[in-house]
Structure 1
Amino acid sequence: MSAPSNVAAPLKSLPADMELVLKVIPLPADVNANGDIFGGWVMAQCDLAGSVIPARHAKGRMATVAVNEFVFKQPVRLGDILSFYSKLVRIGRTSVTVTVEVFAERYQAQGEYIKVTQATFTYVAIDDNGRPRPIAQV
């Protein structure tokens, strides 16, 4: 019998073309009334994870300027070990765009991963007055 269409098939490996930038386990305080982890909590963790690569390029203050895409594919559950992978998409004159993919290692299924979220963020380098500043091109 096949799995229902709304349940993702587990993966045996994680992305080799992306960088692991954050690992976290949600706590009971992060659970909503349905018993799943709040979407807003997941979004906040994605924003933190997404900022790792841009920080290397901005070399100073930066701010999230856009959430270009955010897709919840599967619920995040209490006890999941979440792995956040990121990859550079684009470096502009003042901004950096990255993609973030989140994989859950379920408490009851260690060693198997399910993609639960994907997002694309744009961060802008800012000066002391909060205005965009150029990023040194490499």
Structure 2
Amino acid sequence: MLDIMVLEEATLACVRLQGAYGKGIEEACDTLALWAEKDHFNDGELMIFYHDDPKTTVDAKCRTDVCLIVPIDTQAEKGIEIIPFAGGRFATIKRRISHSLEYRSAWEDLYAFIKDAGFELSKSAAGIELYGSYMPFTKVAEVTFCVPVK
């Protein structure tokens, strides 16, 4: 079911990737988790930003940011960038993901719901996955898929 959510502005610790979507995300999550554990940011919410449309951008140029929400005064460290997130209004759907192939269908469903509801997409922000939970051994995740709308 489609919902509208306002995400607040935040400070993010980020590992940036470039290449085909899905490639390197687990490693980036591991890097971020080790850093977060060391600096006691274990309770930060995981957000994955997809900056480019894979239908119009070649895989090698697709940009992904794997991020955690952190306090505003957090300092960068090698391999971790600190970036601002402006927040905004997002169309969302929530899904329980138990297989990697389900991510694509969730994104397709969200865009179909947005089109059917007559919302206009915003050009100002990336599509985002917000992780409510993730079980590393089973790879089952509770994910809110978000697309910026006007």
TM-score range with shorter-chain normalisation? 0.3 to 0.5
TM-score, length of structure 2 as denominator length: 0.31
- The higher radius of gyration belongs to 1
Higher helix share: 2
